[in-house]
Amino acid sequence: MPDLEKKVIVSADDFGRSPEANANILELLSLKKLQRISVMVNGKFSPEEINSLINSQIKIDLHLNFLSLLENNQTWRKKTGVLSRLLFFFRDYLTGKISAPGAAQTWMEQLEKFHTIFGRYPDGLNSHEHVHFFPPYFKIILTLAQKSKTTYLRFGKKDFIEATNIVSLIIFFLKKINRRRFLASGLASADFWVSLDWLEKDALQKIKNLPSGEIELIVHPERAAELEFLKTRRL
């Protein structure tokens, strides 16, 4: 049985995080290397940079941020090692330092700020460090999508372990928990998604080996290696 056509959607995260991130994303945009861009509305950008995004007619998503805004109050973020950070994350969640109501208020403010900046709501929703997969936060992002009539969510319609590092395995597990809510939401999503930094060496071959279907490839162009990869490879 022949494979269906594979389509790679290159999605750049962290617009607004730094001048370097903005410049590199805009460079890739001018080279027609991107299909989606995710904006951190509490970041730094100029009116000219925003106009460049709007005039490009590219899909513009909201990159919801919560945990890094509270970084000075979180000991877990200073820990090295994923498992150690997870333990401190759950401690801070259970003690109310990073509560769901706090995330809901912060994200709603960011959604409305996006509307103020762009004159409309985003084409899609996702989150910094993929924290929207945490089930209490996942309910919030679905509510935001419903209120703003946003139709696209970074989730992945099919169950597939996109990479073998610990972060991707945790997200795979959380997807199982959230899957029923996602399907009931009616939101659109790529069949699969994977972050370029998960693939490490031989990234291009690993992308080619991914299953057939629509694949959202998450990139962070402020990183020199990822910028060079995107500029010199044809996906």
Please say whether the beta carbons of 215 and 193 come within 8 A: yes
The arithmetic mean of pLDDT across residues 123-140, rounded, is 96
What is the structure's pLDDT at 76? Answer: 47
pLDDT band at 3 (very low <50, low <70, confident <90, very high): very low
Question: Picking from 26-30, 111-115, 167-171, which range would have the lowest pLDDT averaged per residue?
Answer: 167-171
Query: Residue 1: inside a domain, yes or no?
Result: no
What is the structure's pLDDT at 153? Answer: 99
CATH assignment at residue 222:
3.20.20.370
Query: Residue 107: inside a domain, yes or no?
Result: yes
Residue 22 belongs to what domain range?
7-232
CA 7/CA 42 separation, integer angstroms: 32
Query: What's the structural domain count of the chain?
Result: 1
Query: Residue 137: inside a domain, yes or no?
Result: yes
The arithmetic mean of pLDDT across residues 170-179, rounded, is 93
Look at 73 and 30; give whichever has higher pLDDT.
Answer: 30
CA 124/CA 218 separation, integer angstroms: 14
Query: Residue 15: inside a domain, yes or no?
Result: yes
Query: Residue 131: inside a domain, yes or no?
Result: yes
Please say whether the beta carbons of 93 and 74 come within 8 A: no
CA 176/CA 40 separation, integer angstroms: 27
The arithmetic mean of pLDDT across residues 168-187, rounded, is 94
What is the structure's pLDDT at 202? Answer: 75
Query: Residue 2: inside a domain, yes or no?
Result: no
Query: Residue 68: inside a domain, yes or no?
Result: yes
Query: Residue 14: inside a domain, yes or no?
Result: yes
pLDDT at 1 over 50: no
pLDDT in tens, 33-54: 999 999 999 999 999 999 999 9
